[in-house]
Amino acid sequence: MEQRTAYWRVDPIKPDPRIMARAGLILRQGGLVAFPTETVYGLGANALDGLAVARIFEVKGRPQDNPLIVHVADRETACRLVCRVPAGAGKLMDAFWPGPLTLVLPAAPVVPRQVTAGLDSVGIRMPDHQVALALIAAAGVPVAAPSANLSGRPSPTTAGHVLQDLNGRIEVVLDAGPAGVGLESTVLDLTGDVPVILRPGGITREELEKVIGEVRADPGVDGRPGGEFRPRSPGMKYRHYAPRVPLVLVEGEPERVAARLKELAGIYRSRGLRVGVLATAETAGEYNGSRVVVAGPRQDPAAIASRLFAALRQLDELGVDVILAEGIEPRGLGLAVMNRLRRAAGNRIERV
Ligand code: TXA
Ligand code: MG
C-alpha cells in the first residue's frame, strides 16, 4: 500500500530542532527525506547505509551507474569518507564550503558502492543551507542526496516540485521555501593531476581558478550531445532536465535569436501546435500568440539560473505542444544555464 509523504514546513534560517530531530531519525532508520539546499532540493538517505541508498535509485528511476553526492555538515566527516586528500582540496573547502561546490575525491572503503556506483571516487559537498546542515547534524551520519526529482525531469527548486515527482514514494519533504541558486553544484574532479570541472554549476570556473590556478573543463560541460566524448561524470550522459514536450533551443545574437524564434513559432502554429516560449526579459515582448514564460534578464544569468527549472515545469503545465527557448551567452553562470538548456533540448539546438 502506498503511504503519503509527510510535509513539514521549517524555517529556512532557524529550523525547529524537534522537527529536525524527527527527520534525522528517519534518515538514521533508513528512510528518505527530501530537503532544501542552496542549489536545489535534495533527496537524502544515510550515505553509510547501502540499502537506504539503493531506495533512492528505485524511487527516482535513476540509472544504476550514476553516483550520488554525499552531503556533510563538517570537514572531519568529509575527510573520513576520503582515503587521500589531494593538494588544493583544503583551499577549495576554505574558499567555497559551505557552498555549491562538489569535490570528487578518492573514496575510502567505508563509502558503500551504492553511493559511488562502483567508482573509486566519491563526490562530497557541504551545502550552504541551515536546514540541510541541521538535518545532517541531527542524522549524525553523512547524507547521500541527488536532486529530488524523477530521473530525467528538471531538478526541483521548491517542495511543491518534489511532491509533483515523488509524492507517496518518500517519507518526508521539508519545505523551507524556494532554493536560491536554482542550479546544482559545480562538480570538480580532484583525482587527477589537474582539477577538471565535470558539471558546471553554482561556482564558476573563473572563481575556482582564482583559488587553485589552472582548472580544465571536461568536454561535456557545454552540454552539447554526441561526439566521441565519453563523460567522466556518469550523470552527464543522460538526457536530463527535460520538460515533457520537445524543447527547441536557439542560440546566437539576441536579435537573431528572437527573429528565428518568432519564425519557428509561426511555423509550429500554422501546423496547429500550441507554442510555449522560454524568453529573456529583454525580448519577452516579441512573441505574440505564444505562451511566454520569462526566465529573467539576459544581463543577470544568476536570476535566470534561479528561475530556470521552475520555468521549465511551468511551461509543461501550460499544456503546450512544443517549447522554444532563447539561449544566453555561455559565460560565468551562463555556462551552467546553457549546459542545462542544451541537455533539455537534446539534439534540437539551432545556431543563428
Ligand atoms: O547541487 C547539487 O549538487 C544537488 C544538491 C541536492 O546537492 N545534487 C545533485 O545531485 O545535483 P545529482 O545526483 O542530481 O547530480 C550529481 C552529479 C551527477 O552528474 C553525477 O554523475 C556526479 O554528480 N557525480 C557524483 N559522484 C561522482 C563521482 N564520484 N565521479 C564523477 N561524477 C560524480
Ligand atoms: Mg539531478
Task: Tell how far the Cα of 97 is from the centroid of ligand 2, in angstroms.
Answer: 20
Please give the annotated binding residues for ATP, written as ranges: 62, 66, 147, 155, 199, 241
Whether 327 is in the pocket of ligand 1, judged by its Cβ within 6 Å, is no
Q: In what order do the strands lie in the sheet with 121-125?
A: 6-9, 172-175, 33-35, 42-46, 143-144, 69-71, 121-125, 101-106, 186-189, 196-199, 216-217
Residue nearest to atom 29 of ligand 1 (CA): 122
What ligand is nearest to the CA atom of residue 100? 1
Task: Identify whether residues 181 and 308 lie together within a single domain.
Answer: no
Task: Identify whether residues 212 and 324 lie together within a single domain.
Answer: no
Tell me if 140 is assigned to some domain. yes
Mutate to test the pocket of ligand 1, among 43, 114, 147, 149 (most ligand atoms within 8 A of CB): 147
Residue 259's H or E segment, with its range, is: helix 254-270
User: Residue 82: beta bridge partners?
Assistant: 107
Task: Identify whether residues 150 and 54 lie together within a single domain.
Answer: yes
Task: Identify whether residues 76 and 180 lie together within a single domain.
Answer: yes
Whether 339 is in the pocket of ligand 1, judged by its Cβ within 6 Å, is no
Task: Tell how far the Cα of 50 is from the centroid of ligand 2, in angstroms.
Answer: 19
pLDDT score of 41:
98
pLDDT score of 230:
53
Tell me if 206 is assigned to some domain. yes
Task: Identify whether residues 157 and 251 lie together within a single domain.
Answer: no
Total domains present in the chain: 2
pLDDT score of 247:
96
pLDDT score of 10:
98
Tell me if 97 is assigned to some domain. yes
- Residue 35 sits in a domain whose CATH number is 3.90.870.10
pLDDT score of 1:
43
Average pLDDT for consecutive 10-residue bins of the chain (352 residues)?
Answer: 84 98 98 98 98 98 96 97 91 98 98 97 98 98 98 96 98 98 97 96 96 94 66 67 89 97 98 98 96 97 97 94 97 95 94 96
Tell me if 231 is assigned to some domain. no
Residues 128 and 281: beta-carbon distance below 8 Å: no
Tell me if 238 is assigned to some domain. no
Range of the domain at 88: 6-222
Task: Identify whether residues 63 and 186 lie together within a single domain.
Answer: yes
Task: Identify whether residues 35 and 163 lie together within a single domain.
Answer: yes
Show which of 205, 222, 239 is a domain's final residue: 222
Task: Identify whether residues 194 and 59 lie together within a single domain.
Answer: yes
Task: Identify whether residues 339 and 277 lie together within a single domain.
Answer: yes
Task: Identify whether residues 301 and 335 lie together within a single domain.
Answer: yes
The CA distance from 288 to 296, in Å, is 18
Cell of 109: 572503503
Tell me if 26 is assigned to some domain. yes
pLDDT score of 243:
80
- Residue 316 sits in a domain whose CATH number is 3.40.50.11030
Show which of 207, 222, 237 is a domain's final residue: 222
Cell of 166: 515523488
The CA distance from 309 to 40, in Å, is 9
Tell me if 182 is assigned to some domain. yes
What ligand is nearest to the CA atom of residue 339? 1
Tell me if 68 is assigned to some domain. yes
98: preceding bond cis by omega (within 30 degrees): yes
Task: Identify whether residues 283 and 209 lie together within a single domain.
Answer: no
Task: Identify whether residues 318 and 206 lie together within a single domain.
Answer: no
Task: Tell how far the Cα of 147 is from the centroid of ligand 2, in angstroms.
Answer: 4
